[in-house]
Amino acid sequence: VIEHRDTTHGMVRTEIRCGSCDAHLGHVFPDGPPPTGLRYCINGHSMVFEPGK
């Protein structure tokens, strides 16, 4: 995962992209819960869901 500063749409946020193909995965915001304080907003289309075992 690669992080980029994103200042579009009048906001300051961190965009995260795939380290292999550079696809947009979503954003990380600094207003999340402890202990990290980070909130991940990930595009559902960028994830692969597998059934539980």
Domain definitions of the chain by residue range: 2-45
pLDDT confidence band for 23 (50 / 70 / 90): very high
What does residue 49 show for φ and ψ, rounded to 5 degrees?
A: -95, 130
What mean pLDDT value characterizes the chain?
93
Decide: 16 and 3 in contact? Cβ < 8 Å.
Answer: yes
Separation between Cα atoms, residue 22 and residue 40, nearest integer Å: 18
Separation between Cα atoms, residue 38 and residue 4, nearest integer Å: 15
The rounded percent of the chain whose pLDDT value lies above 90 is: 83
pLDDT at 49: 87
Kindly state the average pLDDT of the residues 25-47.
94
Q: What angle do CA 16, 18, 20 make, to 5 degrees?
A: 155
| pTM for the model | 0.77
What does residue 45 show for φ and ψ, rounded to 5 degrees?
A: -75, -15
Q: Would you name the residues annotated as active-site residues?
A: 41
Kindly state the average pLDDT of the residues 19-42.
95
pLDDT confidence band for 4 (50 / 70 / 90): very high
